Amino acid sequence: MSATVLSAAPAGARSGLFAHFGRDLTASIVVFLVAMPLCMGIAIASGVPPEKGLVTGMVGGLVVGMLAGSPLQVSGPAAGLAVIVFEFVREHGLMALGPVLLLAGLFQVVAGAFRLGGLFRAISPAVVHGMLAGIGALIVIGQFHILFDAKPLSSGLENMAMMPARVLGLDFAKVGAAELALMLGMLTIAVMLGWEKVRPKSMTLVPGALLGVVAATAAAWGLNLGVARIAVPESIGSAFALPGSLDWFAPLAQPSLIVTALAIGFIASAETLLSAAAVDRMHDGVRTKYDRELSAQGVGNMLCGLFGALPMTGVIVRSSANVQAGAKTRLSTILHGVWILAFVALLPWLLRQVPMAALGGVLVVTGWRLVSLKHVRHLFQAHGFLPAAIWTVTFVLVVTTDLLTGVLVGLALSALELLPHFRDLRLKVHEHRNDEESRIALHGAATFLGLARLNAVLEKQPADRSVHLDLVNVRAIDHTTAETLSEWLLRRRQSGRSDRVTGPDAILRALPVAA
């Protein structure tokens, strides 16, 4: 048996909505610049007009920013739902998305009210990251065709099958729309990736995606290139498609669409809460209130449904930009929604100059980054074959079949980790306090079944007391619990706490932070 002590330098934080107005104002502008191309690009990847993504970004800032349980998390349209929305709109039409999204948001509000946020956090990281990697691959495959000024096909396999034909159909001796669009898309990608390599430290907050889109737009405008450009309405008011009659609710009479609403609510909630946990690791301010965050996202999705917009989640790219830009309160998130509204209301003509291929280039890079092989390598090295296999199966099924099938099969495979301990899956969590530290002792099999109870105890630990995490009587630990404990210990260490972890070497090896 061994013990590990985790410590770091202490950090302080102030609170209050206007306590850091200057820093929040600056951060909101950075987030706005990051969000604009992503909101439009994700809408196009979802098969809907770009203004629908901008409406979701506004609601995510102005409404969810006010209500959120994670003050520094930014909400808006997410690549994680682009695939399921694209398939839904193709099969049922854009008008059916509104009532389905309204119901999905209602599910989230109810889940938050019944304090089910902890259950979503117990979803296997292998499933979630396998799902995101599969979504990333589908985005890359679909947006590949946008780079050629063509429309994506109806499935990932069809898009893959057509990729060689797109390349072989190029003829630079007779430059047409496809060749010009490809050059603009590649220019966008080159500027994005090149900026990350050469940007000076004084300009680290300037987003590469924005520069890439600006470069491609300037080239298309200056050379008067005949390529497809995005279409946005003259008035932002026309982007809000409110229900006209009770017939608007008719799609909810179909059981299959109710299942789709559940799937959207489930995936949006899981992605949001995992993103919130990641945001908490980036700063030492107010911690996330997961049930409140879940309900806030539900309110946002209900409004997006009523407005005919895209579904929303908490999004890690915009959230990390928010934290890195120095945001301290929810004011930065709220203001970024104000800037989106102002830009779309005052400068729609400028948006209509942006080539479709430029947004395709942004999403190719975004999708590629979701296909992170680092995570599956980490799962294999830290937790063995089964979690890595769950990631792989989820990834393959999302790409080759559909999102829901991949997630459900991944969740079913996660249950295999319970089989060796099926007769006794109980996890007891005991908390003891003395003058010097708190002691949290676990007894039994530490699996995702007991994770909600464990999280409740971990998160109520005061920031000014050290903790002794006693794992001596833990017989086994699954990868979901191990990842949760590692993240909690890392947050504590980054906040300046000196914590001890004791237990068998076999258990400690499953905790990357403590091993």
Indicate which CATH number applies to the domain containing 469: 3.30.750.24
Sequence-ordered list of residues with C-beta below 8 angstroms from that of 214, at least 6 positions apart, any chain? none
Point out the domain boundary residue: 362, 379, 398. 362
Last residue of one domain, picked from the residues 362, 384, 404: 362
Structure tokens at 353: 């100059």
- Tell me: do 299 and 429 sit in the same domain: no
Structural domain harbouring 449: 423-508
341 and 212 in a common domain = yes
Residue with tokens 């992503």, as numbered in its chain: 38
**Residue 86 is assigned to a structural domain of this protein:** yes
- Note whether residue 115 is domain-resident: yes
The residue with tokens 């999905």 is 104
CA 191/CA 206 separation, integer angstroms: 12
- Check residue 42 and give its pLDDT: 92
pLDDT, averaged in runs of 10, over the chain (515 residues): 47 59 89 90 91 95 95 90 90 94 97 89 87 88 91 83 90 87 96 92 84 95 92 81 88 93 92 84 81 96 96 90 88 96 90 92 88 89 92 93 86 89 84 88 92 88 88 92 89 79 90 66
- Do 162 and 42 have their domain in common? yes
Long-range contacts, stretch 404-409, CB < 8 angstroms, 24+ apart: 404/84, 404/263, 406/130, 406/131, 406/134, 407/127, 407/131, 407/263, 407/266, 407/267
Instruction: Give the per-residue pLDDT at 1.
Output: 53
Residues 313, 203, single domain; the answer is yes
131 and 213 in a single domain? The answer is yes
Q: Are residues 348 and 461 in the same domain?
A: no
pTM of the model: 0.82
> Among 171, 161, 167, which residue's Cα sits nearest to residue 148?
167
Distance separating alpha carbons of residues 20 and 41, to the nearest angstrom:
32
With respect to residue 352, please indicate whether it lies within any of the assigned structural domains. Answer: yes
Same structural domain, 275 and 198: yes
On whether the CB atoms of residues 131 and 405 are closer than 8 A, the answer is: no
CA distance 24 to 98: 33
For residues 217 and 348, state if they share a domain: yes
Is 243 part of any domain? no
Contacts with 299 (C-beta within 8 Å, 6 or more apart), sequence order: 63, 64, 67, 105, 109
For residue 74, give the nearest of 360, 340, 368, 455 by alpha carbon: 340
Do 140 and 262 belong to one domain? yes
The answer to whether 43 and 49 are in contact (CB under 8 A) is yes
Angle at 345 between CA 340 and CA 349, to 5 degrees: 105
- pLDDT score, position 5: 47
pLDDT at site 472: 95
Local structure of residue 330 (DSSP, 8 states): T
CA 168, 171, 172, 177 torsion: positive or negative?
A: negative
Residue 391 belongs to a domain:
no
Note whether residue 15 is domain-resident.
Answer: no
Is residue 4 included in any domain, yes or no? no
Q: What is the pLDDT of residue 514?
A: 60
The answer to whether position 96 is within a domain reads yes
Alpha helices, DSSP H only, in 308-402?
316-324, 331-346, 348-351, 356-370, 373-383, 385-400
Cα dihedral: 158, 265, 453, 315 (round 10): 70
108 and 194 both lie in a single domain: yes
- Residue at a domain's end among 334, 362, 390: 362
407 touches 394 (CB < 8 A): yes
pLDDT score of 324: 83
Report how many domains make up the chain: 2
Asked if residue 447 and residue 344 are part of one domain, the reply reads no
The CA–CA distances, whole Å, from 114 to 118, 155, 292 equal 11, 37, 10
Q: Where are the beta strands (DSSP E) in 18-151?
A: 74-76
Give the Cα separation of 477 and 394 in Å (integer): 22
Q: Are residues 175 and 265 in the same domain?
A: yes
Q: What is the DSSP letter of 5?
A: E
Residues, the chain: 515
What H or E segment, with its residue span, contains residue 438? strand 437-446
What pLDDT does residue 311 have?
A: 96
